[in-house]
Amino acid sequence: RAYNFNAGPAALPLEVLQQAQAEFVDFKDSGMSIMEMSHRGAIYEGVHNETQALLKELLAIPEGYQILFLQGGASTQFAMIPMNFLQGRTGSYVHTGSWADKAIKEAKSFGNVQIAATSEANKYMNIPALSTLNYPQDAAYLHITSNETIEGTQFQQYPDTGGVPLIADLSSDIMSRPLDVSQFGMIYAGAQKNLGPSGVTLVILRKDLLGDVPKSVPTMFRYDTHLKNNSLYNTPPGYSIYMVNLVLKWIKGKGGLAGIEQLNREKTGLIYNAIDTSEGFYTGCVDADSRSMMNVTFRLANEELEKQFVKASEAAGFIGLKGHRSVGGLRASTYNAVTRESCEALSAFMAEFQRVNG
Ligand code: PLP
């Protein structure tokens, strides 16, 4: 297997791929692949509902929340959130970087947007201190991007927003550590980093937040449509949901979110340690107190050396270490399915590259 540090779509656990392979042609002795089955049939519905039950168990989701499986990626949520919740009110956003920026731009097409805090002056290399967040108490919601995949920053704690519903984009760090869902009005995540393949977007929504949504909002863009129909209003992305089901069982087998967090801390620790002990050969991009456990961003002395690093890493079997085109540098994405062995190999490769080029 390649040492896959892709930012997304990202590595899947080998055991999950193997199980999917074993069940690919004939699912549960039905004589069919699960992707050939009716989404109204008992076998598919069993998988659909079990996937919700696994999420409920692993995230300890309290009563009053509904789990939705939607399509269109997290990017569609950037529009659905203001369409369903603004209705003349203000949406407040914490501007932490590239993905927050997209969510903000989209919301501006639908209503009033206010910025609760921004780390722009620091080129988005930190998460603003929670004590500096400033938003109207009658805001429809406060939106945060839990993990900025491109810059490599992550909220270490979440704001206590009192009566203002907190909405979070967890696309790149969902299921990577325990989460207190009761702190949120809504969370959402595209599946393709920590949950499964692309094609399904997970939404966990506090049901009482849904007020009257204008009739002009199309059926498929209304949360109430999916809520009333258990995400089966139209054909769901069944194969992706089935894969999420397998990934959740794999997480359970790793000791749930506490077990996964421990593993992730060790993995990312290996790479941050390689940076921090390099005496300046490698420099971490983001402020130490905002470092992401999922996307490690770092630089070398110049772009030429960074190009050499990428080339040499590819020759050594590493995939996806080039930073995002918008920020440059290097990035190792260490999502749940990236093995400890891959991170050990990367840390050793970094030390060797430094020995030769330092
Ligand atoms: N939000 C974050 C934090 C992301 O990392 C991404 C994708 O990388 C997105 C949103 C967009 O997700 P999608 O491609 O599912 O629309």
pLDDT at position 295: 98
**Quick check: is 185 in a domain?**
yes
Q: Are residues 96 and 225 in the same domain?
A: yes
DSSP letters along 143-196, please?
Answer: EEESEETTTTEE-SS----TTSPEEEE-TTTTTSS---GGG-SEEEEESTTTTS
Predicted confidence (pLDDT) per residue in 190-234, tens digit? 999 999 999 999 999 999 999 889 999 999 999 999 999 999 999
Q: Is 132 exposed, middle or buried (CB count within 10 Å of its CB: 0-12, 13-18, 19+)?
A: exposed
**Residue of 96, 105, 149 to mutate, ligand 1, most atoms within 8 A of C-beta:** 149
pLDDT at position 197: 98
Q: Are residues 23 and 165 in the same domain?
A: yes
163 and 140 Cβ atoms separated by less than 8 Å: no
CA nearest 289: which of 121, 92, 130, 94? 130
Q: Are residues 263 and 240 in the same domain?
A: no
What is the number of the ligand 1 atom nearest to the C-alpha of 148? 3
Asked whether residue 250 is marked as a ligand-binding residue, the answer is no
Q: Are residues 168 and 265 in the same domain?
A: no
Q: 74 C-alpha vs ligand 1 centroid, how far in Å?
A: 5
**Quick check: is 6 in a domain?**
no
Q: Are residues 171 and 65 in the same domain?
A: yes
Question: For residue 201, what are the β-bridge partners?
Answer: 70, 190
Q: Are residues 101 and 232 in the same domain?
A: yes
51 lines ligand 1 (CB under 6 A): no
User: Mean pLDDT across the stretch 326-341?
Assistant: 96
In sequence order, what are the residues at sequence separation of 6 or more whose Cβ sits closer than 8 angstroms to the Cβ of residue 270?
340, 343, 344, 346, 347
Q: Are residues 77 and 202 in the same domain?
A: yes
Q: Which domain holds residue 158?
A: 14-253
- How many domains are there within the chain? 2
pTM over 0.95: yes
190 lines ligand 1 (CB under 6 A): yes
Predicted confidence (pLDDT) per residue in 78-137, tens digit? 999 999 999 999 999 999 999 999 999 999 999 999 999 999 999 999 999 999 999 999
DSSP letters along 189-234, please?
Answer: EESTTTTSSTT-EEEEEEGGG-----TTS-GGG-HHHHHHTTT-SS
ipTM of predicted assembly, 2 dp: 0.99
350 and 298 Cβ atoms separated by less than 8 Å: no
Strands 141-145 and 90-95: parallel
